[in-house]
Structure 1
Amino acid sequence: MSETTHDGLVAVSDLPSPDEGLAPAELAARYGLSVSGARPGLGEYVGQLWSRRHFILAFSQAKLTAQYSQAKLGQLWQVATPLLNAGVYFLIFGLLLGSRGGMDHSTYVPFLVTGVFVFTFTQSSVLAGVRAISGNLGLVRALHFPRASLPVSFSLQQLQQLLFSMIVLAVILVGFGHFPKWSWFLIVPTLVLQFVFNTGLALIMARLGAKTPDLAQLMPFVLRTWMYASGVMFPLQYMLVERAKAPSWLVEVMLTNPTTVFMNLMRHSLLQGFGSENLPPHVWLIALGWALLAGAGGFVYFWKAEERYGRG
């Protein structure tokens, strides 16, 4: 009920509100309000990510520069680290265990270095993805931007690091008698497919790592097992067929392992004598399938938790 004042006017404060009785959702719709930090639609999210492309590139370059800023050799460690790993694997698997599958030094050394570089690309992307959100909570909580920018930029950082390593790999190949040929151009689609695959994995691991930070302590063991199962240090088909006498179905499954597919595509492109008999049938379709499955699936999986990153 409204009341009349001494001068005959009606008190406005006592009039019924036009919003009285409306549910919160109806009230928000009437005034065009939206939930703060709500997840945008998938198409809108892709547009937001594209609009931040300059930030993604700059962030990845800054991280790459800062990675070895405290070391005297600086950026040389980008190449020195996988080369030292390759040297250790050559000593153990190439000399002590004799797991070269009949390859001489001129073939085995480029075979090994190629495998180490390519697998390190995936390994580093996964490890960086695990910490992409949990290791940058200050940035996530302070600024509004699509959170996928972080795992994508870390994957891009690893791609740039691999490109530096490819220069050294080319020198090693020529030094061991594997000279440039037309098949070397196949490294471009191989790297594109692997980058999409790695980015998808980084997105998946970023969401899992944001919820479970301890996952960063477990992943090195998982990745080490994956490395041994991928044929980085030895020809996988030789070890499975000649040494382990594995059944044919197991050989086919192991050869379609995504890191094995990308490594062997790279070896097939670069090394003379590494023929198509080392590749599974329809290898390019397999590589494309892994890239699309991990890339698209990882992106959607990460996007579904967009509004939860940095909270709690």
Structure 2
Amino acid sequence: MSQVLDTPPPTAAPADGDLAALAARHGLAVSGARPSLPVYVRELWARRHFIAAFATAKLTAQYSQAKLGQVWQVMNPLLNAAVYFFIFGVLLGTKKGVPDYIPFLVTGVFIWTFTQSSILAGTRAISGNLGLVRALHFPRAALPISFCLQQLQQLLFSMGALVVILLCFGVAVSASWLLAIPALVLQFTFNAGVSMVMARMGAKTPDIAQLMPFILRTWMYVSGVMWSIDKLAKGHHGWPHWVVPVLQANPAAVYIDLMRYALIDSFHSSQLPHHVWPIATGWALVAGIGGFIYFWKAEETYGRG
């Protein structure tokens, strides 16, 4: 006679709510979950040494394969300035009526390059470092911020050449040069905010990195890098009345003009837009805070897919 073995009834799978309660009871959290904004800021601050070291390492490695090495940090913007001087200053005559045109041009090129390079690097900050993003747990905002810090270090390295150019063309050292410090702080904050916006967009759509050079080139042409917006304002070109104020409030033009005002004694306050420091501060706060929050909201999506 066969013996019937009793088998225990199948147990039902625990519900999702039960699992969540069990995980919470034992201090478990969702892997890769976005922390709250205050926690995220604290985590980012705790990694400030990594951000600085990463930026320095990237800067050191940037020209490691070139024979001239770090000299290219100065040569690149200087060569760009030479090309712009020939095309715009000589052929198109934009230097006419602009005192100290070469210091005017070189300052504009150096400051614009800081913004341009920061945004381009930020666009690829996530998509170009997926191995690092997927391998290590850290606030992803550290990447675009470190790339902006790298570009700031490069600008400061290049400022030595800018000072030599200013002195060679008769621009005297003055107390107004100290205004370059708050101007650079505001520009760095603006650049970092825009870089974080572009980093999130570039992480989702990497093709944006191919489009950005064209957008930035157009932005450069309307930012008064090679020509004087103030000269346009005083001329009669048949432009609508709103064009000049919009060009003057353009953040790239604001930071360029602030640096020219700080360093070049022939660039007077009358050439600056009204309320220029509040405008510069406003752009920095809107881009810096807004870009940071925009980037943080997608924190858990970076490196996935």
**1:119 — aligned with what?**
112
Is the 1:86–1:112 contact (alpha carbons within 8 Å) kept by the matching residues of 2? yes
| Distance in 1, Cα, partners of 2:251 & 2:138 | 31
Residues 225-264 of structure 1 correspond to what in structure 2 (within 5 A)? Answer: 225-242=218-235, 244-264=237-257
Counterpart of 2:143 in structure 1: which amino acid?
L
Counterpart of 2:138 in structure 1: which amino acid?
F
- Structure 2: gaps spanning 5 or more residues: 1-7
**1:177 — aligned with what?**
170
**Structure with bigger gyration radius:** 1
Specify the SS of the correspondent of 1:203.
helix
Residues 1-312 of structure 1 correspond to what in structure 2 (within 5 A)? Answer: 22-104=17-99, 107-242=100-235, 244-312=237-305
Is the 2:196–2:292 contact (alpha carbons within 8 Å) kept by the matching residues of 1? yes
TM-score if structure 1 supplies the norm length? 0.91
| Distance in 2, Cα, partners of 1:222 & 1:94 | 23
Specify the SS of the correspondent of 1:185.
helix
Deviations 1:56-86 (A, max 9, x none): 1110000000000000010010110000000
Q: How many angstroms does 1:239 deviate by?
A: 3.1
Deviations 1:5-63 (A, max 9, x none): xxxxxxxx99x99x779544333333332211100010000010011111111100000
Counterpart of 1:59 in structure 2: which amino acid?
F
Specify the SS of the correspondent of 2:266.
coil
Q: How many angstroms does 1:257 deviate by?
A: 0.3
Counterpart of 1:98 in structure 2: which amino acid?
G
User: Residues 21 and 37 (structure 1 numbering): CA distance in 2 closer, same or farther, change over 3 Å?
Assistant: closer
Specify the SS of the correspondent of 1:248.
coil
Q: How many angstroms does 1:241 deviate by?
A: 4.5
Name the stretch that deviates more: 271-280 or 184-193.
271-280
TM-score if structure 2 supplies the norm length? 0.93
**2:4 — aligned with what?**
none
Specify the SS of the correspondent of 2:97.
coil
| Distance in 2, Cα, partners of 1:110 & 1:250 | 26
Specify the SS of the correspondent of 2:242.
helix
Q: How many angstroms does 1:224 deviate by?
A: 0.2
Q: Identity of paired residues, percent? A: 65
Counterpart of 2:252 in structure 1: which amino acid?
T
Q: How many angstroms does 1:273 deviate by?
A: 1.6
Deviations 1:203-224 (A, max 9, x none): 1110000001011100000000
Counterpart of 2:188 in structure 1: which amino acid?
F
Specify the SS of the correspondent of 2:28.
coil
RMSD: 2.1
Specify the SS of the correspondent of 2:223.
coil
Is the 1:101–1:235 contact (alpha carbons within 8 Å) kept by the matching residues of 2? no
Name the stretch that deviates more: 109-118 or 274-283.
274-283
Deviations 1:262-302 (A, max 9, x none): 00000011112211111111100000000000000000000
User: Which structure 1 residue ranges, 4+ long, deviate > 6 Å from structure 2?
Assistant: none
Counterpart of 1:62 in structure 2: which amino acid?
A
User: Residues 89 and 22 (structure 1 numbering): CA distance in 2 closer, same or farther, change over 3 Å?
Assistant: closer
Is the 2:107–2:162 contact (alpha carbons within 8 Å) kept by the matching residues of 1? yes
| Distance in 2, Cα, partners of 1:248 & 1:20 | 66
